[in-house]
Amino acid sequence: MQRIANLLAIKDNKVLLLQKPRRGWFVAPGGKMESGESIYEAAIREFQEETNVIPHDIHLKGVFTMVIKSGDRVVDEWMLYTFVAKGVEGTPFEETREGKLAWHTIESLKTLPMAQGDRTNLVFASTKQGIQYGTFEYTQDFELISETIQMSIEQ
């Protein structure tokens, strides 16, 4: 089962997003964990590789079970771990083979084109206290079928 770690860097009320070429959708930079890595190590490594930026003060904001369905059948399932970083060091690449990188307002997360579950995840990560958990079910064409969300804040 794949494990994906991504990271939303926040600076001056803006977030660093990657616009993927295929659909033009925006995502938080990240990628696949390697064998033996922790989710924390993977998020930092993948973010640095994709952006050229070093993240500081990172914290886990979301853990999601991602399910791809064809009719009633589960055709893929993986885990997504989303971190935020409240400090960043360095200037991001403008464009890589992964897509275009740019700073966008936190507010724009509500309207920029992206997978619907990513919006739930990134709006929470950038504006709320605590951790979100849940399951996103998608079609193979990445249309959201259902989302089930829980959250908790440390007492």
Cβ atoms of 66 and 77 closer than 8 Å: yes
- The 3-42 site mask, x for binding a copy of itself (CB under 8 A), equals x-----------------------------x-xxxxxxx-
Q: Is residue 152 a contact residue for a copy of itself (CB under 8 A)?
A: yes
In the region spanning residues 39 to 78, those forming contacts with a copy of itself, defined by CB under 8 A, are 39-41, 57-60, 63-65, 67, 74, 77
Cβ atoms of 46 and 31 closer than 8 Å: yes
Q: Please name the residues in contact with 78: beta carbons below 8 A apart, sequence gap of 6 or more.
A: 1, 2, 3, 4, 66
Among 133, 139, 140, 145, binds a copy of itself (CB under 8 A): 133
Cα separation, 36 vs 19, in Å, equals 29
Cα separation, 110 vs 78, in Å, equals 25
Tokens for 85, please give them.
């970083």
Tokens for 105, please give them.
């307002």
Q: How far is the CB of 103 from a copy of itself (least distance, A)?
A: 19
- The 79-118 site mask, x for binding a copy of itself (CB under 8 A), equals x-x----x--------------------------------
CB closer to a copy of itself out of 115 and 125: 125
Q: Please name the residues in contact with 100: beta carbons below 8 A apart, sequence gap of 6 or more.
A: 18, 19, 94
Which spans of this chain sit near a copy of itself (rule: CB under 8 A)? Answer: 1, 3, 33, 35-41, 57-60, 63-65, 67, 74, 77, 79, 81, 86, 129-131, 133-135, 137, 148, 150, 152-155
